[in-house]
Amino acid sequence: MNPLAAAIVQLWPYALAFVVAAAIPRRQGRWERFAIGLSAVLGVAFLRGMWPGAEAPSEPPIEWPHLLNVIVFVPILGAIAVLFLPRQAPRLLKRFSIAVLLVDFVASLWLLGAPMAEGWHFQYIADWLPSFGIRYHVAIDGVSLWLVLLTTLSSPLALYVSFGSIQKRTKELCFSFLLLHGAMLGAFVALDLFLFYLFWELMLVPMILIIGVWGGVEKIKAAYKFFLYTMAGSMLMLAAILYLVWSFKQVEGYYTFDYLALRRLVLPDTAAWLCFAGFAVAFLIKVPMWPFHTWLPDAHVQAPTGGSVILAAVLLKLGTYGYVRFCMGLFEGPAWQAGATLAWVALLGGVIYGALCAWRQADIKRLVAYSSVAHLGFVMLGLFSATRSGIEGALLQMVNHGVSTGALFILVGVIYDRRHTRLASEYGGLAKVMPIYAALFVVFTMASIGVPGTNGFVGEYMIIMSTIVSQALGRWATSQAAVASAGVILAAVYMLSVVQKVFFGPLDNPKNKSLTDVNTREAISLAPLVVLVFIIGFFPKLLLDRMHDSVTSVVARYVDGRLAYQDHRGRADTVLEPLLGGPTEAGYPERPAAPAEPSEAPSVAAIMHIDAANGAGVEGTP
């Protein structure tokens, strides 16, 4: 048939989606229609592209090894380029930064091309410091894939939103966001523990700049708290990393910082627990899990809107990702044994206590911040339950939380920009004046609570189911599932009560009567998130399929590692688990070749001129 007809047959879903979506807004904005239409089109494209059931390709698709390097370093190089752009040209700076982040987003979509079978994909290894055994080793698997995509989606939205409220020092804002974006992506894909630590620390500096320069009243205190809390945790992690590297050297004789090598280590009891504690503290501070959560409300409330969005959407996920990749990957035994206790901490301290704190908040942003603590308590519960559906549910919930809480922060920023107050008591009956805003807020509230049909439901359901059947949680499993379900109800309580206070009820305050509804910028940044809420809510399999193989191998290794730890208990030596081979070991660091010729450096004894045998010392004057 002729090409035009063929094109129409192929493209009709996209055209239909665009037309329907663009017809939704009942007001003038041309760009707004276009953006909503584009989000719908991309959503449909995502659905069609990821729909399972296509015939498996005969050979695995070619994975361009430099893709991850491009994704990580394009923003960092963009940040350096921004330094050279004139600060008197804010439009140029803004467009350049958004362009760089959008290029990064498009590049990251290529990651969806690989079906993420078991093992590492898009792997790139380069020697960096051979004497230390440090390599530049990046790779992606089902666990980190969706987090990388979440990051590349959230950053342009967050930066775009922040341009609405931040007008001064645009150059520093763009620099900070680009550097932060690159560092976060690097942390998600790094498989060398030193490289991971480097990106982990590198994230802190732009984040404190964002909080401290454009933040609220107590921004400096919040910035200090954030930086010092996180850095203290990372220092303990560094101590644990150094101990692991040294232990590996004792057993195998060469230095390596590579995750694939160090995860074979089975340490004696005390050492294993202390190293687990070092890593766990660093990640639990970041999550944040009670009692290390006190930096979060301050940081979120004082940060500007864009900063809060990126903090909630991505930075908190680094803690949970770090836990599943490093704590559960390196220290399976202590993680298993601590699982039940930590799950109680996550439930009572995170889910229940976080929800109760959120319920009492008068400041809406602080409420959403505490709700993050509660949601991530759920995620950690999923990780602690250590079943396949639990970990998949946790990973899915990480993406969900990024989408829904990121959107909630954008929405809080909307009314803060209008009235410069975030107290719920100042508002009331806003649904009458800002109906679109109210609708969006309610949609994301439902997503946050976990109403079926939205993304939150799937994640929470999987996590609670996994808690019931979990072996790691032992005899506490059922009671913990019951408490978690109560947590869901509490989430509904605090979110709906604030929605009622702010949107419904009488429109008493005269200052609220003339508020403008969501403007173009805010609508454009929320549109993709709305689309995602429903796509993930109705078609979670699209995301879960890609995680499946990797999570299966994570769980299998976790069980093996726990058995190895139990076999090893009571012994004081350090052994290595056997190399399994296979795709999960791709990129294993081999022992470096022995130097061919003896080094030119003289031995210590020769330098000291002390040679007892021939007595030819260099004597001074007696």
Binding positions for another protein, rule: CB under 8 A: 83, 87, 128-132, 169, 172, 197-198, 201-202, 204-205, 208-209, 212-213, 219-220, 223-224, 227-228, 231-232, 234-236, 238-239, 242-243, 245-246, 249, 599-602, 604, 606-610, 617-622
Quote the least distance from Cβ 191 to another protein, whole Å.
Answer: 17
d(CA 305, CA 491): 22
Which one, 282 or 502, has the nearer CB to another protein? Answer: 282
Which one, 238 or 465, has the nearer CB to another protein? Answer: 238
Which one, 233 or 428, has the nearer CB to another protein? Answer: 233
Residue 397, phi then psi, degrees to nearest 5 = -65, -30
Instruction: Give the distance, in angstroms, between the CA of residue 133 and the centroid of all CA atoms in the same chain.
Output: 27
Say which residue the tokens 């001064």 belong to.
168
- Position 318, amino acid: L
Quote the least distance from Cβ 305 to another protein, whole Å.
Answer: 18
Let me know how long the chain is: 622
Residue 121, phi then psi, degrees to nearest 5 = -120, 155
Which one, 56 or 84, has the nearer CB to another protein? Answer: 84
* Alpha-helix residue ranges (DSSP H) falling in 287-322: 295-302, 305-310, 316-322
Do 447 and 530 contact (CB within 8 A), yes or no? no
Quote the least distance from Cβ 243 to another protein, whole Å.
Answer: 6
Token output for 218: 């107590």
Which one, 218 or 567, has the nearer CB to another protein? Answer: 218
List, in order, residues 6 or more apart from 543 with CB less than 8 Å away.
146, 396, 399, 536
- Position 28, amino acid: Q
Quote the least distance from Cβ 228 to another protein, whole Å.
Answer: 6
List, in order, residues 6 or more apart from 101 with CB less than 8 Å away.
75, 152, 155, 156, 159, 177, 178, 181
Q: Rounded to a whole number, what is the largest CA-CA distance in the chain?
A: 106
Which one, 596 or 604, has the nearer CB to another protein? Answer: 604
- Position 9, amino acid: V
Which one, 202 or 482, has the nearer CB to another protein? Answer: 202
Which one, 5 or 217, has the nearer CB to another protein? Answer: 217
Question: Which residue, among 233, 157, 209, has the nearest Cα to 407 in the 3D structure?
Answer: 157
Quote the least distance from Cβ 608 to another protein, whole Å.
Answer: 6
Which one, 55 or 619, has the nearer CB to another protein? Answer: 619
d(CA 433, CA 436): 9
* Alpha-helix residue ranges (DSSP H) falling in 570-618: 604-608
Quote the least distance from Cβ 609 to another protein, whole Å.
Answer: 5
Quote the least distance from Cβ 214 to another protein, whole Å.
Answer: 9
Q: How far is the CA of 493 from the CAs of 137, 448, 462, 581, in angstroms?
A: 45, 12, 21, 50
d(CA 324, CA 87): 41
Quote the least distance from Cβ 199 to another protein, whole Å.
Answer: 9
Quote the least distance from Cβ 422 to another protein, whole Å.
Answer: 22
Token output for 407: 């959107």
Which one, 48 or 249, has the nearer CB to another protein? Answer: 249
Which one, 47 or 242, has the nearer CB to another protein? Answer: 242
Quote the least distance from Cβ 386 to another protein, whole Å.
Answer: 29
Quote the least distance from Cβ 393 to another protein, whole Å.
Answer: 34
Say which residue the tokens 């250590």 belong to.
386
Q: How far is the CA of 518 from the CAs of 414, 500, 523, 525, in angstroms?
A: 7, 19, 6, 11
